[in-house]
Amino acid sequence: MRRLIYIFIIGLLLCSYTWADGSRYASNSLLSEGKWVKIRVDKTGIYKLSYADLKNMGFSDPSKVSVHGYGGWPLDEDFSKEYIDDVPSTPVWRGSDYLLFYGKGSVKWEYDSSSQTFVHTNNPYSLYGYYFVTDATPTNDMTSVAQASGASTRITTYDDYLLHEQELVSVNQSGREFFGEDFSGARPRTISTFSSIPGITGADGKVTMRFISRINSGSGTASLSINDSELLDITIPSIQTVSSNVRSYTKAIPGTTTALWKGSKSEKNNVVVSYSSSGHTNVRLDYIRMQFVRTLRPYGACTFFRSLTSVGNASRFVISEANSNTLVFDVTDALNVKRVEADLNGSELSFTIPAGRLREFVLVQTNQTFPSPEVVGEVASSNLHGLEQRDMIIISAPSLVQQAERLAVAHREKDGLTVEVVTPEAIYNEFSSGTPDATAYRRLMKMFYDRSSSLGNPPKYLLLFGDGIYDNRGISGEVQGVSRSNMLLTFQSQESLNVYSYATDDYFAFLEDNSGSNFSRDKMCVGVGRFPIRTVTEATQMVDKTISYMENKDSGSWKNNVTFVADDGNNEDSFTTNHMKQADQLAEAIEEMQPGFLVNKVYFDAYKRSSLGTYPDVHNEIEKLLKSGQLLINYTGHGSTTHWADESVWTQTDINNSSYKHLPVWVTATCDFTRFDDVKTSAGESVFLNPTSGGIALFTTTRVVFSGNNANLNKALIDNLFQEGANSRYTLGEAMMYTKRQLNDSNKLNFILIGDPALKFAYPEYKARVTAVNGEAVSDEPFEFKALFRITVEGEILNPSGSFAADFTGVLSSTIFDSQSSITTLGNSSEKFTYLDYPNTIYIGRDSVRNGKFSFTFMVPKDISYSNKKGKLNLYASSETKEAQGSFFDFIVGGTSDTAETDTIGPEIRQIYLNDSSFVSGDKVNTTPYFVAKLWDKSGVNITGSSVGHDMMLTIDSMPSMSYNLNSYYALLPDSENEGLVQFSIPELEPGMHTAEFKVWDILNNSTTYTFTFEVAEGLKPNLIEMYATPNPARDQVEFFLHHNRPESNLKVTVMVYDMTGKFLWSTEKSGSSELFKAYIVTWNLTDNGGRRLRPGVYLYRAAISTNNSKEATKANKLIILAQ
């Protein structure tokens, strides 16, 4: 307990965030009023808007129009740097019937003083720079700046640059870098970009080339020549030089060289690139940058120029071939562009600037033709700046907003959160000049975060309500055919070629003032989750799942279950036992922190390996546990985007075919499992996107991760998820946030939360405790649970504050385990590993809780361990709105009762059937029939599993491979110690006649055997036993109840409504499963497919159900609708 308090205090201390003054943000966005039209430019230049263009946009008086925004350069990720808020105006130069403005494209150029070269940065989110045109603000005409006086250096040339870069493919489907021409064919290529450079002088220039390749052995050489003279070459080493543990994940090795370009130069150039090596893949040119000196004169309508000579020197720029139409703009500060006053002397135009930094100018020939920006369209008014503080922000594409808003309403009503749903476009418009940029999402959150310094209520959660893709711009061939309309931007690393490339949603939570320069050490300030949805259907289904989990509609003892699955390693890691050790440390941590949980350990090496090298029993155990229900399933080991482990113990196909109803939270400490930004849907996404099964959320991985770091994160996550005390319980987003804040490595960036960050982990808040055994109060002395001894356990329910809960009335589930055993794995491929577990069950029961009190009675089986060591009693209780859990360890298992009752009769099999109670021996059934047996025994049924030959067994056709242990599928009926039910879905069978033998033992080891036959028929349609609607008549909504004979099967259900003339009005199609004795329920709000409320009257409804491609079973009935 002391340790847990310490962790919680550390978490609080970590929340001492730093923020800027919230007053630096506009109180209201300029976009909140007036008419605004968005335009865009494809490259940096001077752009023209004619008055005719402006009138076509809907502006009646073009003279009153102004331009706003700052174009397409990527926003600065370092929040210690200068920030531009909202949509500032940019100066314009007005002609007689037009205006000119400086527009920035998506390629940013800067001078790097360390390399003494001009370098470029591509905007990874957009190919365009965006601006706005409006008449709702005062005009901002360009002002003039007088030239300096005094002595100066005469400058008649300028430094210029050209870029050749074709972004064609991402070789790793990760990161920001896209690469150009393929040189694997080893043919030289002529680069036409540099074929003509008018005005180039003989001054020294520089050429930089970057190349990538993956060479199996030896090395490769890329070379560049100009006019048949080789200027540079790059030697790229083989992949063998990369560390062996990451070699397979390295897609290519880059090489970059800058060479001095000396000697005379020609305006016409033949630039050729060639490559040579053997055994290579992914051989591509990245880019070529050429830097040179040109004569200072106009080269078209606009000519950008700058001079390194001018830095630190008063300088006089002398421009030749100028005329009265030549203007000079200083565009160094894009939001403060000024016309420079210059002297025209004949054809020579000159101006003087004082000593200072490198400045950017542009020559403008007003009598020439300028490009016009592309009109995107009118912008709807928005005012994110005017919002009050919000607990939660949901970013959603417009077509998904309705479902996002439905989730927001649920959080408002159920959790009391203030929630705002916003669209990406609105964020871009107010926080990145309308240009798509992932940092705009972060800037929005930063605004709320900064304002909380004075207003309070800092933001808590960000939900990215949409899938994403590694290619944010859609420029690669693989992505061009993918619809990105409902996708949100992803944050990709600069590294794009190897194991250290990543995509992370953590970025959007780095809100401190100094964040953005070291992501490994930056601290998350809000919980972030993502719904990787692409369609309205997916959005609807995921919101349905999430709201149902929030409403706790699926209570049950499954919430006491947690499972840890561990790989046994592979050749790459020499079949290490580390995965099992790490998983076991996590399991033991939960048992220490929260002993009320039942921890299942599925360690591969504890199971037999098949002759094919697979683990079918591991697969079956995972399937069984998921069907029984798990609050959490945690996997440690190797994996991929499609499966767990080299043995594929759990695959994407298994996930897609799942039909269990209890939704766990998944933790996957394995590589790539949820690579959500890939073109293909990953297995982790399939877990979340399964409409009725799968999982409710995942703490999961997007890229390659490393075992040691995974263990640290997993341990911190378990600590944060399972903290003691309802007041300190974190939501899923908070658990992830505090986990990440405790770590300072880059590995954590590859873990994300798929799911709702504001969702509370749904384990019981109340406690159940044992107060007496056989009438004796609990004390420090342990009780004795002797074989054949009748035990009565009494207890009570406590509320979260620890007080007796007299208002708790409901049902108790209890499970008693024999003493803890030491289990050693088989050593199939690795060292053997020893761990502790409770493998044998003494008793499973269901009893009543009345006014906070409970009791139950059972007889201890004869087949116990006789270890005289402590066992474990696990408790779960539920009422209509509350849940409790608890445990009890103060008893030892051993000895034999001196007063044991005499019982020589085996259990009575009161009922046995397949699928439904009308079954008789010899009947036809489907290929996966559902076995049910009702049992009674005066002493109790044996389910211990601790004695060979005394298990409850179902055997088909006397085949050992079709012999099933049903101990764990048996449960007593409520408030009974003698009568129970066994339920089991038989794995798929071949068509034809089969014989089944069912054998069961009582706790005194008396047995009963029952044999029956059945015929398996493919495509056999289910039996729709009963169908009704309630309420009927209906006024507001109706529920259709469908009772069928395929429990636990994955059903396809269609319900259709017609008027009495046969006109079709409404239908819905669902998929899922229902438990034995429970109906499949479909809800309808009494509107037709167009959303119109049906008039009062009599209607016909029809239902059809099928499963596994079977024929449909149908029924029809009448429904009366009343007036509202």
In this structure, whether the domain defined by 766-896 belongs to CATH 2.60.40.10 is answered with: yes
How many other C-beta atoms can be found within 10 angstroms of the C-beta atom of residue 1081?
14
What is the per-residue pLDDT across 704-726, written as a single tens digit (0 to 9) for each? Answer: 999 999 999 999 999 999 987 54
Query: Do β-strands 153-155 and 315-319 pair in parallel, antiparallel, or remain unpaired?
Result: parallel
Map residue 950 onto helix, strand or coil. coil
What is the per-residue pLDDT across 438-450, written as a single tens digit (0 to 9) for each? Answer: 999 999 999 999 9
What is the per-residue pLDDT across 29-51, written as a single tens digit (0 to 9) for each? Answer: 999 999 999 999 999 999 999 99
On whether the CB atoms of residues 1045 and 1022 are closer than 8 A, the answer is: yes
Residue 641's identity, in one-letter code, is T
Q: Taking phi first (over 0 means left), then psi (-120 to 50 degrees means alpha), and beta for anything else, what does residue 516 get?
A: left
Question: What pLDDT is stored for residue 988 in this prediction?
Answer: 87
> What are the backbone angles phi and psi of residue 393, rounded to the nearest 5°?
-115, 130
Confidence bin at 651 (pLDDT 50/70/90): very high
Confidence bin at 1086 (pLDDT 50/70/90): very high
**Assigned CATH for 157-295:** 2.60.120
Question: What pLDDT is stored for residue 1075 in this prediction?
Answer: 72
Burial, 1067: exposed, middle or buried (Cβ in 10 Å; 0-12, 13-18, 19+)? middle
List Cβ neighbours of 960 (8 Å cut-off, separation of 6 or more). none
Q: Which fold has domain 908-1016?
A: Immunoglobulin-like (2.60.40)
- Top-level class of domain 555-750: alpha beta
Q: What's the CA gap between 673 and 680, in Å, rounded? A: 12
pLDDT higher than threshold 80 for residue 1058 = yes
pLDDT higher than threshold 70 for residue 2 = no
On whether the CB atoms of residues 773 and 891 are closer than 8 A, the answer is: yes
Same fold, 766-896 and 1024-1121: yes
Question: What pLDDT is stored for residue 1069 in this prediction?
Answer: 87
> For residue 1033, is the peptide bond before it cis, meaning its omega torsion is within 30 degrees of 0?
yes
Which of the 8 DSSP states describes residue 1090?
T
In the block, which residue shows the tokens 């803890």? 820
First-to-final CA distance of the chain: 56
- What does the block give as tokens for 570? 């592979």
Domain formed by 1024-1121, architecture? Sandwich (2.60)
Confidence bin at 1 (pLDDT 50/70/90): very low
What is the average pLDDT value for the chain, to the nearest integer? 93
731 forms beta bridges with: 760
How many other C-beta atoms can be found within 10 angstroms of the C-beta atom of residue 628?
17
1010 forms beta bridges with: 998
For 890-949, give the DSSP string: -EEEEEE-TTPPP---PPEEEEEEESSTT--TT-EE-SSPEEEEEEE-SS-B-----STT
So where are the chain's domains?
A: 36-152+297-377, 157-295, 555-750, 766-896, 908-1016, 1024-1121
Question: What pLDDT is stored for residue 729 in this prediction?
Answer: 86
Please name the helix (run of DSSP H) or strand (run of DSSP E) that holds residue 677, with its range, or none.
Answer: none
> Looking at 197-201, 236-240, 1007-1011, which range is the least confident one?
236-240
Mean pLDDT of 1018-1029: 86
958 CA to centre of own chain: 47
Confidence bin at 20 (pLDDT 50/70/90): low
Report the side by side order of strands in the sheet with 143-145. Answer: 143-145, 338-340, 326-330, 361-365, 302-305
Q: What's the CA gap between 543 and 549, in Å, rounded? A: 10
Question: What pLDDT is stored for residue 490 in this prediction?
Answer: 98
Question: What pLDDT is stored for residue 575 in this prediction?
Answer: 84
In the block, which residue shows the tokens 């609105």? 426
How many other C-beta atoms can be found within 10 angstroms of the C-beta atom of residue 616?
14
How many other C-beta atoms can be found within 10 angstroms of the C-beta atom of residue 1033?
12
Burial, 166: exposed, middle or buried (Cβ in 10 Å; 0-12, 13-18, 19+)? middle
pLDDT higher than threshold 60 for residue 11 = no
What is the per-residue pLDDT across 262-316, written as a single tens digit (0 to 9) for each? Answer: 999 999 999 999 999 877 778 999 999 999 999 999 999 999 999 999 999 999 9
What is the per-residue pLDDT across 551-591, written as a single tens digit (0 to 9) for each? Answer: 998 999 999 999 999 999 888 888 889 999 999 999 999 99
What is the per-residue pLDDT across 508-528, written as a single tens digit (0 to 9) for each? Answer: 999 999 999 999 999 999 999
pLDDT higher than threshold 90 for residue 1072 = no
On whether the CB atoms of residues 178 and 470 are closer than 8 A, the answer is: no
Q: What's the CA gap between 539 and 701, in Å, rounded? A: 22
Which range, 394-403, 916-925, 1081-1090, 1095-1104, has the best average confidence (pLDDT)?
394-403
Confidence bin at 247 (pLDDT 50/70/90): confident
